[in-house]
Each structure stands twice: as C-alpha cells, then as structure tokens.
Amino acid sequence: MLRKKLPTWRRYLTVEPVIFFYAYGLMMSFPILGQYVYSVISKLKGFPYEQLLLQKEGLGCQVHFAGANNTLGDIEKEVQSLATKIITGNTFFSTIPALIVAPFWGPWTDKSRRRKPALLAPAIGAFLGNVVMLMVMYFEWPLYVMFIGSALAGLSGFLPTLSLAVMAYIADTTEKNEVAFRLAIMQMLVFMIGVVSQLTSGFWIHRFGFIVPTWFSLGCYLICGLWVIFLVPESHEKATHEKHNFFDIKSLKVLVNIFRKQREVGRKSLLLLVFVVAILTLTTMGLEGVTNLFVMRSPLCFGPKLVGYFLACRMFFDGLGGAVGVKLLGKFFSELTTCGISVVSQIVEMVFLAFATRTWLVFAAPILGCFKASAYPIITSILSRIVGDDEQAYLFVIASLFCTIGIINIFSLNLGMMFFNSVYERTLHLTFGGFVFLLCAAIKLIPFCVFSCVQVPPTGEHQEKGEELELKDDDENRNKQDEKLLKEKEKDENQETKHENGTSREAVAIDPDAIELMKPTDD
C-alpha cells in the first residue's frame, strides 16, 4: 500500500493539510462576506451601522431606536432586506453548480484511478472566487459581481467534491482497521479549524477591515492547491491517463440504484432517514445567514468581534456536544432516542434565540443546543448499515452513498436559505424579530413522526452476538438430536435382541418332540 512507503511523519500529512487549509479559508470567508455585504449596503442607504455597534454587554443599540421617530428603523429594515437577497443569491450561485458537477466527480476518479484532480479543482475554484471578491473590495464594484466568483467556486465542485475526494483517497491508502482513526483526525481538524477561524475572523475584521482577512483566506487556498500538486502522491500507483467521459449518465444511475435496491430492513427506512437528513440540514445550515443578520440587527447590533465570538461559540459546542452526545447518550438510550434528544436540543436553541434581546442570551442558546450535532453521525451510521457491508465496501470507494447525502445537503441548504431568508425579509416589519426561529423549531418536529416509522438494523456487535447465540443453539440442538438418535438406536437394538431371544424360547417351547428326540434312548 502507498501509505506504507511514506516516512512515518508523512503518513498523516497527505490529504490532512488539504482539508485544513481549504476549510480554514472557507470558514473565514463566510463571516467576511456577510459582514462586508451588510457594511456596504449600510453605507449606501445611510444607515449608521458602525456607529451603533455594541461596545460592551448591555441592551445593544436599542436606545437609538427608541422614540417616535422610526426613520432609523425603516432604513435598517431596507438594509436587512437587501443584504438578505445578496447573501441568498451568493449561496445560490455557489451551490447550484456544485449540485450539478459533484455527482460526476466520484465515478470519474474511479474510472481514471486519479484522485488529485478532484482534490485540486475545489482549491482552484475557491482561489478564483476570492480573487473576484478582492477585486470587488479594491475597486468598489457592485456587490452582484461577487456572484461570478461564487459561480466559479461552485463549478469546481466546491466542498462536496473535496470531501468525496478526501474520503476516497483515505479509502485507497489506508488499511480498513485504520480508516475510522483517520476520519476521526479529519473531524478533529474541521472542529479545531471552525473554532479558530471564527475567533480570528471577527478580530481581523475589527482591526484591519475586510481586505486583509480576505488576502489571508486567499493564501489558504493557494497553499491548499500547492500542497495537492507537489506533496500529495497519487493514491493509485497505476493511474490511467486514458480519456474518460466526465458527464457520463451512468454516474447518475449509480446514485439512483442506491434507493431502488431492496434492503433487508426495507427500503422505506433508507428513504425516511435521508428525508430526516434533508429536514435537519434545511433547518440548521439553511438558517445560518438569517442568524448572522439577526444578531447584527437591533436591539443586539453585534459588531465583527462579537459575531466572530458567537460563531466560534456555536462551533465549539456543536463539535464538543456532538462527540460527547453520541458517546454519552448512546450508553443509556437507543439510537433513535438519541436522535430525538438531539432534535429537542435544536428546538430549545431556536426558541431561546428567538427571544434573545441581550448578549448573554444569544451566547446561552448554543450551550442549550449542545447536543444538536449528535443526530448526524448516528443517522449516517444507520444508513451505512442499511446499505450493507458487501455493498458498502464498493460505495465507500466511489462514495456514492455519501455523494447522494452531499447532494441532498446542498439542495436542502439552498432551499433553506431561500425559504428562511424570504420569511425573515417578509417579517422585518414585525416588532418581534424571532418569528423565523419559531417557524424553524416547528419544522424540526417533523423528524419525531418519522423516527417512529424507521426500522433500525442491528449493529455489528449485536449481529455477532446473535450469530454466536444461534451457533450455540444449533450446537445444542445437534447434540440433543445426536443423543436422541443414539438412545433410539440403543432402544431398537435392545428390542431386536429381546425379540430374537423371545423367538428362540418360543421355538423350544413349541417343539417338545424335538426335545424327546434329543434324549438318549436305550438300545
């Protein structure tokens, strides 16, 4: 295997730095984009956002909106409405092209036996997208020009393609008993990156403005691409350079067959769990843009530093609570019950955030929702067991199942962004600004109805125990049958012996003349 040929210090430094630098640049670019759009629109509309920023914990900028004069409030609503549309459009142009391209990357890399193009393409696309964003900032071009950069990033495959390429590379270069450990390392990297990038992004924006952190994000993508080119060896030693059709319709048939194939526990459970994943993605990731705008709105008026701290706080408790929740809750509850607790945690966070009017209330919401990330790994585990072990070995290489889930996540993210941003925009005139979070909490009740209809296959340990019990029962039954057969055989032999003895006795008793003939006679 290729990994064994590398030095010891390089075995965990192949695709790990790729995901590190790409995720760092991506997670830092999200708050930069949202706050830059909000800042530019505020200047265009004459809204004094920078003067109303919250400097210390308290009532935020509520005092500036008190009184009979509602002009400032009306301007803020216009800023929020236009910023919502820009952020929605940017998400649309980055996700829809990725939704079209991602399903073809996995099968193409399998046919060509080359993973590096799928690792390199997202880095190039993100690099070009950041170049466009820097040009918009330097030359003060209209915000709509950023849609071009988002489209370039989407056409390269975006994050789903990079994730599929990383999983396939790990499957190619790692022993089966070490795959879980390497994936755990990847999850730890993403968790660490999320916290650090969100903490530093707010400080950088507050201290240096938007251009410097954007350059830093661009540098992350550049390092990512250079690492793939020069320091990531091809996973297959015999990579083919033959031309293969990229947009092959057979690639889509592979994804469709996942849902068409009959399963031991029923195809219904697979479809229902995929539906649950879509609902959770729609109500979680689809609400991110609205959440950022909500905390920047009066009466909170979070500035760049507080927005960064808040996002880092959410990332920290999501990562920590998700890992602890799966391990801790799994000891006392079943898998579906643990998923239900995770959904309840999400609902509590949404309700708490809807009524948050002070800084400490906003930061307390992620703490209450700390178990919300526990549902995703459990559902993924159940899906992998439904697919089956023999098929999963094939699916893991081409990542068809994960590709399908990734596509559904992209679609749900885009749908959630458009839906919740539209609801948020239409409810800006209301005094109560948290209606969108209450609506989101209500939609999260749907998984509870679905969980009751899902049939969960047993885990590997339960299957092994069941097989051992069945083998023991079979052995005991066989021993009992053998003993029974031996007893019946002995009984038959005894009966035959008795029958023969009885027959000889009857013969002697019936023929007395023979006895007389046998007596000696006197001559």
- Closest listed residue to residue 376, CA positions, set 450, 438, 325: 325
Assess contact for 163 and 403: CB atoms under 8 A.
Answer: no
pTM: 0.74
Burial 217-240 (b: 16+ CB within 10 A, else e): bbebbbbbbebbeeebbebbeeee
pLDDT (0 to 100) of residue 326:
81
pLDDT (0 to 100) of residue 148:
95
Neighbours of 100 (CB within 10 A): 15
Assess contact for 75 and 47: CB atoms under 8 A.
Answer: yes
pLDDT (0 to 100) of residue 490:
66
pLDDT (0 to 100) of residue 441:
95
- Cα-Cα end-to-end distance for the chain: 107
Q: What does the pLDDT profile of the chain (523 residues) look like in tens digits?
A: 555 566 665 666 788 899 899 999 998 998 899 899 999 999 998 888 777 664 444 445 655 554 445 677 788 889 989 998 998 899 889 888 988 888 887 777 777 777 888 899 999 999 999 999 999 999 999 999 999 999 999 999 888 888 878 877 877 777 755 665 666 567 667 878 888 888 888 888 888 899 999 999 999 999 999 999 998 887 766 555 566 677 777 767 767 777 777 766 667 888 898 899 899 989 988 888 889 889 988 888 888 888 888 988 888 888 788 778 887 888 888 888 989 999 999 999 999 999 998 889 999 999 999 888 888 878 877 877 776 544 433 444 335 666 677 778 888 888 888 899 889 988 888 888 899 999 999 999 999 889 888 888 776 544 444 444 444 545 555 566 666 666 666 666 666 555 555 544 444 444 445 444 444 544 4
- Closest listed residue to residue 403, CA positions, set 172, 160, 170: 160
Q: Tell me how far CA of residue 445 lies from CA of 125, 314, 343, in angstroms.
A: 38, 22, 8
Q: Which two tokens stand for residue 149?
A: 């950069």
Largest CA distance in the chain: 159
pLDDT (0 to 100) of residue 464:
45
Contacts of 200 (CB under 8 A, 6+ apart): 28, 308
DSSP string covering 242-260: ----SS-HHHHHHHHHHHH
39 residue type, one letter = S
Range list of H helices, 50-175? 71-112, 116-139, 146-155, 158-173
Kindly report whether the peptide bond that precedes residue 447 is cis, defined as omega within 30 degrees of 0.
Answer: no
pLDDT (0 to 100) of residue 354:
93
pLDDT (0 to 100) of residue 496:
58
Q: Which domains can be identified in the chain, with CATH numbers?
A: 15-236 (1.20.1250.20), 266-470 (1.20.1250.20)
Q: Which two tokens stand for residue 333?
A: 């509850």
Burial class (CB in 10 A: 0-12, 13-18, 19+), 246: middle
DSSP string covering 432-463: -TTHHHHHHHHHTTHHHHHHTTPPPPPPHHHH
Assess contact for 58 and 357: CB atoms under 8 A.
Answer: no
